[in-house]
Amino acid sequence: MNFKEFNFDHNIRICVYNVGRESLDFHKHNHIADITYCAKGKLAIEMLDSHTRVDLQQGEFFQVPRAQKHRCYHIATDTEMSRYVLIQIGQFDIEFIKQEAIACELKSDFVHSALSKNQCELYQNADKLQDILSWFNGKLNEVALEDSNQQEEIQDIIKGIDDVLKSTQINAALVD
């Protein structure tokens, strides 16, 4: 697994992860809710407290609620890796869950969930994310043409943020 991290003012953190067969350990965040956008491949997000699993195809995203023990990993069988863009809003914190505690909670299989994908709460930060989107668009112009992998990662970040913002605008319009 490798990742790149971008920290911004306003307590916003954007990461791009390239994952193979490994997974991040179960963890939780008390002050942020992860928004995970699948840029390539196929991902699973398992939530330990509810024993639910959400599968993400390319172009889909899901927001893990605050304080929910979770992990994200690659499940595509036709590719060696998946890529995801992680958007975190709020004061960053992470608490890894001890393996002994997990063993007690893993007595049953995870149930595939029908939880809503492609919806999220941006906590009044849509304007800040729009500014960050503009920053990444400018960054894309700075990247040397020879570094196609970095260009591709930045394009995936731009697509992820843009899709999250569009979905938020659509959902807000439906409520109005």
Selection from 89, 81, 98, 99 nearest residue 36 by Cα: 89
Tokens of 41: 């491949």
Residues of the chain where predicted confidence (pLDDT) is lower than 70: 10, 100-108, 114-115, 123, 144-146, 170-176
- Residue-range domain boundaries for the chain: 1-176
- Tell me which CATH code domain 1-176 carries: 2.60.120.10
**Residue 101 confidence (pLDDT):** 63
Distance, C-alpha 38 to centroid of its chain: 7
pTM value?
A: 0.87
Tokens of 46: 């398992």
- Hey, is 163 helix, strand or coil? helix
Convert the pLDDT of each residue in 139-156 to its tens digit.
887 876 667 888 899 999
